[in-house]
């Protein structure tokens, strides 16, 4: 029996070391949200490309109304041609004259400001101005948003809806993105039944497969399969061998501890996989392990659902993100104060699930009452995870770094 544990930090280093980069494919810009850019994108042009009006109004030379006031307005003649968005002014605007212009219309050369219609009066072919205007007022100048040659998207950035708009403004129809990995999930255990099936005595409905599939889909992975494998060694060996061949990553749940029916680890070895590590000094999720074969990776997760969730969040997810070339894999920790004292009395790192409570004297982390590895409500009701070293004692008011997991449950940003 292997009694050698590795620390969580060592496990994560090994995981990231084995994450190979996937190739590039091209995706339609409009369908690229959530994908990871495989290259740095430089703007080929200024945005805006030309000076244009930010208002409906009149374009003019600011010098022409330098002395305008309410008591002594300045009137300018107005050109017959009007400038609409998408049209080009063909003439020249001489000193002492202005031109009617709409939002987005190109400001003619020599003019340097726009005054909104509501700030002027117009009569008999002339426009009356009642105040001086700052040069550049209500004009969008070339390169004001993006300059030619400027980086608009870094390699490894996750593309969002606003990036789609930005890239479209550069005329791009498609973008190079990292290929999404093929992931196979093998849920082991003869006791597991699929949700929707009539539950038999002594058996349970699956939560691990559904949860892992949801976590993977939420990452934007679309090629995910979930298969159920009974406690049969030959079936287990066959499923592992086949899925290692057809997948970029295989995830198993259950059967990696030391029980009589825990045969998955042996089947993984017989399938030709080399063990990278097995057993991590953490709670929950101690029997978590990693194997590799011909560049393909297999993660053996424990069977308890909280251990599955936390091993996925802390190890599998970073592996996949690095695999897809994501530039910033880890979300920054947040300092959290504890309302009450807490002690990790064990000899393993504790992944403590906490709720964040707003109180008159601030926000506090409150450990959920049941931290068992089979208590999935400790994940569904948690706002954050705090990793505590073995033997650490927390006094009331102490701060610890934690990682938010509850953003998915939050609603709108603001309430006015």
Quick check: 306 pLDDT over 70? yes
Residue 388 falls inside a structural domain: yes
CATH number at residue 115: 2.170.190.11
Residue 214 falls inside a structural domain: yes
Domain range for 367 is: 334-409
Query: Is the domain of 195 the same as that of 171?
Result: no
pLDDT in tens, 49-62: 999 999 999 999 99
Residue 188 falls inside a structural domain: yes
Distance between CA atoms of 380 and 124, rounded to whole angstroms? 71
Which of 131, 161, 178 terminates a domain? The answer is 178
Nearest Cα to Cα of residue 329 among 4, 6, 21: 21
Residue 33 falls inside a structural domain: yes
Residue 415 falls inside a structural domain: no
Average pLDDT (188-207) is 89
Query: Is the domain of 204 the same as that of 312?
Result: yes
pLDDT in tens, 247-304: 999 999 998 876 666 799 999 999 999 999 999 999 999 999 999 999 999 999 999 9
Cβ-contact 266, 259 below 8 angstroms: no
Average pLDDT (202-209) is 92
- For residue 27, list its beta bridge partners: 175
pLDDT in tens, 183-196: 999 999 999 888 88
Query: Is the domain of 237 the same as that of 344?
Result: no
Residue 1 falls inside a structural domain: no
Residue 328 falls inside a structural domain: no
Question: In Å, how far are 12, 34, 177, 240, 388 from 221, measured between CA atoms?
Answer: 21, 10, 13, 20, 31
Residue 2 falls inside a structural domain: no
pLDDT in tens, 363-408: 999 999 999 999 999 999 999 999 999 999 999 999 999 999 866 5
Query: Is the domain of 209 the same as that of 290?
Result: yes
Distance between CA atoms of 306 and 304, rounded to whole angstroms? 6
Query: Is the domain of 314 the same as that of 196?
Result: yes
Vertex 252: Cα angle to 247 and 255 (nearest 5): 150
pLDDT level of residue 409 (50, 70, 90 thresholds): low
pLDDT in tens, 65-80: 999 999 999 999 999 9
Query: Is the domain of 185 the same as that of 290?
Result: yes
Q: Burial of 371 by CB count in 10 Å (0-12 exposed, 13-18 middle, 19+ buried)?
A: middle
Please give the tally of structural domains in the chain.
4
Query: Is the domain of 209 the same as that of 288?
Result: yes
Query: Is the domain of 64 the same as that of 204?
Result: no
Distance between CA atoms of 182 and 203, rounded to whole angstroms? 30
CATH number at residue 253: 3.40.980.10
Quick check: 350 pLDDT over 90? yes
Cβ-contact 90, 147 below 8 angstroms: no
Q: Where are the beta strands (DSSP E) in 240-360?
A: 249-253, 274-278, 282-283, 289-293, 296-301, 334-338, 342-343, 349-359
Please indicate, yes or no, whether the overall pTM of this predicted structure exceeds 0.75.
yes
Contacts 24+ apart (CB under 8 A), 20-24: 20/295, 20/323, 21/178, 21/322, 21/323, 21/325, 22/178, 22/179, 22/180, 22/181, 22/248, 22/323, 22/324, 22/325, 23/178, 23/179, 24/176, 24/177, 24/178, 24/179
Give Cα 34 distance to the centre of its chain.
Answer: 7
CB-based contacts of 80: which residues, under 8 Å, 6+ apart? none
Provide Rg for the chain, Cα atoms. 31
Distance between CA atoms of 183 and 298, rounded to whole angstroms? 10
DSSP classification of residue 54 = S
Both tokens assigned to 183: 């992931």
Query: Is the domain of 191 the same as that of 282?
Result: yes
> Given CA atoms 89, 94, 97, 103 in this order, what sign does their dihedral have?
positive
């Amino acid at each position: 029996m292997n009694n050698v544990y590795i620390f969580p930090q060592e496990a994560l280093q090994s995981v990231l070391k084995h994450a190979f980069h996937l190739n590039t494919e091209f995706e339609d810009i409009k369908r690229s949200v959530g994908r990871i850019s495989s290259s740095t994108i430089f703007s080929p042009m200024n945005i805006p490309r030309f000076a244009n009006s930010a208002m409906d109004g009149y374009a003019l030379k600011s010098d022409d109304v330098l002395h305008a006031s309410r008591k002594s307005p300045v009137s300018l003649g107005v050109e017959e041609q009007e400038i609409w968005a998408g049209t080009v002014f063909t003439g020249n605007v001489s000193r002492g004259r202005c031109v009617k212009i709409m939002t987005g219309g190109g400001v003619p050369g020599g003019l340097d400001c726009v005054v909104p219609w509501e700030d002027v009066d117009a009569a008999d072919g002339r426009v009356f101005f009642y105040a001086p205007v700052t040069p550049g007022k209500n004009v969008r100048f070339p390169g004001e948003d993006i300059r030619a040659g400027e980086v608009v998207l870094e390699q490894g950035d996750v593309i969002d809806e606003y990036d789609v708009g930005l890239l479209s403004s550069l005329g791009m129809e498609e973008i190079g993105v990292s290929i999404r990995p093929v992931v196979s999930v093998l849920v082991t255990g003869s006791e597991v039944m699929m949700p929707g099936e009539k539950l038999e005595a002594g058996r349970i409905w699956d939560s691990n497969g559904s949860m892992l599939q949801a976590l993977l889909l939420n990452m934007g992975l679309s090629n995910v399969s979930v298969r159920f494998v009974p406690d049969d060694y030959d079936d287990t060996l066959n499923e592992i061998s086949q899925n290692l061949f057809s997948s970029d990553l295989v995830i198993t749940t259950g059967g990696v501890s030391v029980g009589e029916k825990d045969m998955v680890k042996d089947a993984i070895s017989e399938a030709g996989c080399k063990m990278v590590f097995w057993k991590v000094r953490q709670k929950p999720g101690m029997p978590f392990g990693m194997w590799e074969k011909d560049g393909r990776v297999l993660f053996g997760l424990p069977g308890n659902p909280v251990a599955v969730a936390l091993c996925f969040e802390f190890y599998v997810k970073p592996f996949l993100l690095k695999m897809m070339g994501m530039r910033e894999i880890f979300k920054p920790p947040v300092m959290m104060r504890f309302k009450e004292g807490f002690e990790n009395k064990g000899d393993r790192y504790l992944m403590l699930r906490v709720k964040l409570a707003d109180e008159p004297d601030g926000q506090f982390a409150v450990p959920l009452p049941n931290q068992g590895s089979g208590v999935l409500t400790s994940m569904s009701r948690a706002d954050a995870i705090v990793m505590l070293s073995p033997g650490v004692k927390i006094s009331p008011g102490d701060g610890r770094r934690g990682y938010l997991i509850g953003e998915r449950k939050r609603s709108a940003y603001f309430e006015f």
